[in-house]
């Protein structure tokens, strides 16, 4: 089973692809990741991921498939969680500015009332 050329990996995600991916996933977050009785069916989720793929591919360095996008999203979440963990282990809990860089608005802790 000799191949003519070795399998080459795809190009890294560029900044534009990553921005579009994040924007679209956050826009459809409720459909993709909601739990409980109101969650979307696998078919609905597949359609949403296809929609996201159609939004990302025009700015992509190479054509991406849905599995590429899902993997990139998981990697982004893991990287941000580990960054948050490192910040909180360093010198106490990270301040609001650091949290704002890492978390979506709905993940932000409630603001403390003025003293």
How many alpha carbons lie under 13 Å from residue 90 in its C-beta half-sphere? 9
Name the residue with tokens 């909601």: 34
Nearest-angstrom CA–CA distance, 52 and 31: 12
DSSP secondary structure letter of residue 37: T
pLDDT band at 23 (very low <50, low <70, confident <90, very high): very high
pLDDT score of 94 more than 50: no
**Token code pair at residue 33:** 């990741």
The larger pLDDT score, comparing residue 27 to residue 38, is at 27
pLDDT score of 97 more than 90: no
pLDDT tens string 33-59: 988 888 899 999 999 999 999 999 999
- Domain boundaries of the chain, sorted by first residue: 15-87
pLDDT band at 93 (very low <50, low <70, confident <90, very high): very low
Name the residue with tokens 């692809």: 17
Nearest-angstrom CA–CA distance, 25 and 73: 8
């Amino acid at each position: 089973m000799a191949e003519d050329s070795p399998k080459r990996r795809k190009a890294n995600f560029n900044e534009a692809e990553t921005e579009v991916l994040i924007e679209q996933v956050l826009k459809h977050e409720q459909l993709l990741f909601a739990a409980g009785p109101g969650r979307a069916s696998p078919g609905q989720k597949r359609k949403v991921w296809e929609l996201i793929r159609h939004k990302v591919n025009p700015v992509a360095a190479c054509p991406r498939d849905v599995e590429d996008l899902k993997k990139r999203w998981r990697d982004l979440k893991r990287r941000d969680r580990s960054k948050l963990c490192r910040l909180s282990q360093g010198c106490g809990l990270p301040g609001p500015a650091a949290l704002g860089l890492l978390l979506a608005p709905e993940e932000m802790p409630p603001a403390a009332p003025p003293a």
